[in-house]
Structure 1
Amino acid sequence: MTKARIYDLSLFTTSVLVALSSGHLLSDQSAYLKALVIYWLFSCLYYNLRVINKSGSTSVDYGISYTSSLTLFAGPIGVLIFETIFRFTVYFHKKWSKTADPGEFLDTFFNIGSFVLANSIGYYLYYWLSPVFASIPYGFWLLMLLLIIVISSLTTLFLVVVLFIMGELRSLREAYDYSVTSRSFLDLGKIALTNGLLLLFLQEQRWDIIVSLFLLNYVVSLSFHSKSQSIQNKYERDKFEQMAYKDFLTGMFNRAYMDKQMAELNQPGESIGIVVTDIDNFKRVNDSYNHAVGDQVIRHFASTLQSYLAENDILFRSGGEEFTIFLRNKDYSACCLLLEEMRRGIQDSTVHTEYGDQAIQLSYTASFGLCYFEIGSQASMEKGYIQADQLLLRAKHLGRNRVLVKDDSPEELIEQPIQ
């Protein structure tokens, strides 16, 4: 048996001993049975609103608990009975729905032990501090808030110990960050307020109001949960779409996103410059060094190109060491001047990287093809891209390290000597 499982069973055994040592139920059996049924039914209902957090190989369920009020009403034995029935209901539901983790059975004993022990400590703390807080304005509510903070901190501490034993947490800093993010102060305030109201109504045995309060909390929690799920789903969709359209090596947009933008921008009326560029003699880099060095050069090339672009311009990695740029809201002369600045900037830059155990510096050049046109006049975006690609090939044949451009008039060549 692993250390984590020994800890789980030890925690459970300790909680049972603490509960049994407290004596009998504080309330009469009839009132307790009514409370037990109501709390069990609504706890099962609230279970669907829990938040699941994955920590390494461990799944942690977070949900708002109303166990503290039942503990203060019935005592540690009462909460032991409730937690045992509720936690095994959850266990059998998970087994039936085939969502149980491999160690779900022993996890159930941990859940019972941690909640029973934390709430039992809260029970003794409540009756010890009640005389002190009785003389303070709103003392009852301040004491409830204090109890919820203590109980929440204890259950989090029990969980942190397990995660330390399992190696999911490796430092005190990680444990602190985990503990701080596990609950918000707003959640604690809501739990304290609701448990305080439930305790008052339990003591008066106002079962109709107790059921109404549970229903009200469920409706409010369901609303927040639905909105939270919608936000989470939108975030995941946006993240997935971003991943689908991003090149993992450079972080720039990929060819799929370029095709999407070509379809969206293919509307008459806008003048646009389509640029196709790639690194000159890139194969020599891979042959002389390795692909890791080649990847560093491609990343440097991408970031250098991006540094010259305006907010409305779009850069894509269209394949290998080839990149495509859509220059928008610029006239023909501005596009030509910008590409010449890019060419010179790349020519004068240096890539600092490592090859083997040595630090090396590499210089490289790039060639550019630009097709500038008004969309819908004589060419589509697809034809503009093909023409820009052909201009790039001509620039290569003419000696590389140069910009070749074309607008709606005959081709015009901007040549620079090879450095």
Structure 2
Amino acid sequence: MLKSRLYELSLFLTAVAIAFSSSEILADNTSFITAIIVFWFFSTLYFRLRVFYKNGNTNIEYGISYDLSFVLFAGPLGLFILETIYRFTVYFYRKWKKIADPNEFFDTFYNIGTFVITNSFVYFLFQHFHSSFQSFPFGYWVLLFILVCISSYISGAIMVLLFGTIGESITFKEGIHFIFKDISFLDYGKVAITNGLLFLFLQEGKWEMIISLFILNYIVNLSFYSKSQSIQNKLERDQFEQMAYTDFLTGVFNRTFMDKKMEELNQTSEKIGIVVADIDKFKRINDSYNHAVGDKVIQHFAATLKGYLSEDDYLFRSGGEEFTLCLRKRDFSETADLINSILRGVEKNSVEVEYNGEKTSIFYTASFGLYFYKINELTSIEKAYIQADELMLQSKQRGKNQVSMVNGLITKELV
């Protein structure tokens, strides 16, 4: 922790040295103060639209920066003043809202140091190469694009060094990947064009254009931010829904989702095979080994069943060692053949478990009940499930490791 604090403070002190050793503020006092106010206001407003990515104990901030245009306009000292005012505004706001991280104070010095160092470096590059790039078409914009890329890479390298000081485990390959992170050239282009226009307007004192550009940029980014939040919220809702409908042990759908899906299928009139499958003599497995081994057998059985199904089929864990299958888009003969194949597959395969420190192969069988019919008003899918369950019990009574089946299309419908 001490090393990281020293590293952050060293960046800040380096930024102080660069700022005060460079030339004075390039802009006149009136223009500089006006620019400070405008850039500070919109940067602060834009801050809440930034995206944060957590790497270990470190929060990494992504978002468009206006520092390049400001450093070209006011020089490193001017940028240092802007960054200091802006960063401490954000810090005190987050402290006031009680959302500041424990390391926020030192992170403020890190951010000031990093942004001043990287943008001061590209400022000196701009001063050196600007006249050379003016000799060919769009040279100004090409130079700005290159400078944006360079500043991003330097910022990434500084962050990688920070990871090393705080003890974050990162390989050389990971460090290189982080520096040249997956930011598209379109993002670099957006930053270059925005800062390029701002610098041109600053030079000409076109404050209406500057404010309009800031407002336009804010509206566009607010729209993207709102859409990204909506997508994120939907992903979170889908994740919670998936958790609510997934059996934690096997990863297949649970009884809650089975009830929901059966209600939906009841609204159709499709031909469907309802299958109830139950592991034979499962209590003996638990008694002979333990429940951990029993769980492994259940997981193996679920994976075996799932391996035979198509994307149109459904598999649910409807009880302890009982599973229910909804087999769709097949005729009776195809459905019966599939269940017989599953029966033979379960019988031939074994599950590898560890018991008393040794690996053991456990063979097991299962009993199946299949009720095949066309969904209609007289026979709901819930009634078909009960029939399939009764057929599974018949398989148990007949000696287990069997399939009992009924084709409801050629027998009397259940009432």
TM-score, structure 1 normalization: 0.92
Aligned-pair CA distance for 1:398: 2.3
Q: Does 1:217 align with 2:242?
A: no
Corresponding residue SS for 2:181: helix
Shift of 1:205: 1.3
Q: Which residue number corresponds to residue 393 of structure 1?
A: 393
Residues 356 and 312 of structure 1, relative CA distance in 2, 3 Å threshold: same
Give yes or no for contact 1:4–1:166 (8 Å, CA) kept in 2.
yes
**1:301 alignment counterpart:** 301
Gaps of 5+ in 2: none
Other-structure match for 2:167 = 167
Say which SS state the counterpart of residue 351 (structure 1) adopts: strand
User: Aligned residue for 1:414?
Assistant: none
Tell me the amino acid that sits aligned with residue 404 of structure 1.
Answer: S
| 2:116 corresponds to | 116
Tell whether 2:19 aligns with 1:19: yes
* CA distance in structure 1 between the partners assigned to 2:361 and 2:392 by the alignment: 26
1:105 is aligned to: 105
Alignment of 1:69-88 (within 5 A): 69-88=69-88
CA contact under 8 A between 1:268 and 1:374: conserved in structure 2?
A: no
Q: 355-364 or 49-58: which moved more?
A: 355-364
3-state DSSP of counterpart to 1:75:
helix
Partner of 2:140: 140
Structure 2 length as normaliser, TM-score? 0.92
Counterparts of 2:119 and 2:113 in 1: how far apart (Å)?
A: 10
**Cα displacement (A) at 1:186:** 1.3
Cα pair 2:153 2:180 within 8 Å, conserved: no
Distance 1:162 1:175 in 2: 11
Aligned to 2:279: 279
What amino acid is the match of 1:16? V
SS in 1 for 2:261: helix
Q: Which residue of 2 aligns with 1:46?
A: 46
- Distance across 1 between alignment mates of 2:397 and 2:412: 19
Q: Residue 162 of structure 1 aligns to which amino acid in structure 2? A: L
Answer whether contact 2:156 2:180 (CA < 8 A) is retained.
no
> d(CA) in 2 for partners of 1:60 and 1:271?
54
Residue ranges of structure 1 left out of the alignment (5+ in a row): 412-419
Report the alpha carbon displacement of residue 147 of structure 1 after superposing the two structures with TM. 1.1
Change (3 A) 1:132 1:387: same
Q: Aligned partners of 1:157, 1:48: CA distance in 2, in Å?
A: 25
What is the identity, as a one-letter code, of the residue corresponding to 2:201? F
Q: Choose 349-358 or 377-386, whichever is displaced more.
A: 349-358
Output the amino acid matched with 2:239. Answer: K
Residue 347 (structure 2) aligns with? 347
Equivalent runs, 1:144-223 vs 2, <5 Å: 144-181=144-181, 183-223=183-223
Q: Distance in 2 between matches of 1:181 and 1:386?
A: 56
> Aligned partners of 2:170, 2:71: CA distance in 1, in Å?
34
With over 3 angstroms needed to count, the CA separation of the structure-2 counterparts of 1:167 and 1:247, relative to structure 1, is farther
Amino acid corresponding to residue 165 of structure 2 in structure 1: I
State the 1:410 CA deviation: 7.2
How much has 1:132 moved relative to structure 2?
2.7
Structure 1 residues 72 and 169: CA distance shift in structure 2, 3 A: farther
| Structure-2 residue corresponding to 1:380 | 380
Q: Distance in 1 between matches of 2:356 and 2:212?
A: 71
Cα 1:2–1:283 shift into 2, 3 Å: farther
Output aligned runs, 1:231-246, within 5 Å.
Answer: 231-246=231-246
**Percent identity at matched positions?**
54
- Deviates most, 192-201 or 128-137: 128-137
- Verify the 8 A CA contact 1:275 1:388 in the aligned structure 2: yes
- Name the amino acid aligned to 2:313: D
Between the aligned partners of 2:158 and 2:39, the Cα distance in structure 1 is 24
Q: Aligned residue for 1:405?
A: 405
Q: Deviations over 1:251-307 (max 9, x none)?
A: 221111111101111136333221111211223333333444333322321222122
Name the amino acid aligned to 1:125. Answer: L
* Distance in 2 separating the partners of 1:378 and 1:25: 86
1:169, distance to aligned residue in structure 2 (A): 4.0
For 1:398 and 1:366, how far apart are their aligned partners in 2? 13
Q: Is the 8 A contact 2:313 2:325 kept in 1?
A: yes
The letter for the 1-side match of 2:254 is: N
Flag the 1:268–1:67 CA change in 2: closer, same or farther, 3 A.
closer
RMSD: 2.1
Which stretch of structure 1 is more off in the superposition, 39-48 or 394-403? Answer: 394-403
Question: Which has the larger displacement, 34-43 or 45-54?
Answer: 45-54
Q: What residue identity is the alignment partner of 1:338?
A: L
Aligned residue pairs, count: 411
User: Is the 1:31–1:205 Cα contact (8 Å) retained in structure 2?
Assistant: yes
1:416 paired residue number:
none
Task: Give deviations 1:185-207, integer Å, cap 9, x for gaps.
Answer: 21111111111111111111111
- For residues 389 and 180 of structure 1, what CA distance do their matches in structure 2 show? 58
Letter in 1 for 2:280: D
Equivalence for 1:417: none
Cα contact 1:314–1:327 (8 A) shared by 2: yes
Deviation at 1:237, TM superposition (A): 2.1
CA contact (8 A) 1:353 1:359 kept: yes
| Aligned counterparts of 1:41 and 1:222: Cα–Cα separation in 2 | 16
Q: CA deviation at 1:182?
A: 5.8
Letter matched to residue 266 of structure 2? N
CA distance in 2, matches of 1:19, 1:238: 50
Amino acid at match of 1:11: L
Q: Is the 8 A contact 2:25 2:77 kept in 1?
A: yes
Question: Residue 72 of structure 1: CA displacement?
Answer: 1.0
Task: Work out whether residues 313 and 326 of structure 1, in 8 Å CA contact, stay in contact via their aligned partners in 2.
Answer: yes
For residues 2-60 of structure 1, give each alpha carbon's deviation from its aligned partner in whole angstroms, at most 9, with x where no partner exists.
21111111111111111111131111111111111110111112112111212233322
CA separation in 1, counterparts of 2:290 and 2:183?
A: 49
Query: What amino acid is the match of 2:42?
Result: F
Confirm or deny: 8 A CA contact 1:169 1:175 kept in the other structure. Answer: no
Query: Contact conserved, 2:262 with 2:382, CA < 8 A, in 1?
Result: yes
Q: Does 1:326 align with 2:288?
A: no
| Structure 1 residue matching 2:318: 3-state secondary structure | strand
Q: Secondary structure at the match of 2:247?
A: coil
